[in-house]
Amino acid sequence: MAAWSTQDSGVSSAPCRCRRDDDPVDQDDQDPGELYAAEWRELARILDRLCFWILLVLMTVSGFVILLYPKYTGSESDWGTGIT
C-alpha cells in the first residue's frame, strides 16, 4: 500500500481562513484607509473596463470608416494616377 498525505487528496486538515464571496464582510475589523483604498481600486477597475470597451469600439469603427470611405465615395478610381 502506498503512503499518501492529505495534500495528495486535496483535502486539508488546517482550518480555512480565506473569505468566500458569499460571506459577509465585518467592516469593523478593517482599517478605514484600507476600505477607502479598496473602494477606489474597484472604481478604477470599472472605469478601466469601460474605457477599454469605448476605445475598442471607437478604433474598430474608425478603422472601418478609413478602409471603406474611398469605396463609397468613388474616389478609389484615381488611386495611383498622381504617383511618380
Taking the model in full, what pTM does it have? 0.50
Tell me the pLDDT of the chain averaged across its residues. 77
Question: Domain ranges in the chain?
Answer: 33-73
pLDDT greater than 90 at residue 68: no
* 77 Cα distance to chain centroid: 43
Predicted confidence (pLDDT) per residue in 17-51, tens digit: 655 666 555 556 779 899 999 999 999 999 999 99
Per the CB < 8 A criterion, the answer to whether 13 and 6 are in contact is yes
Q: What is the pLDDT of residue 48?
A: 98
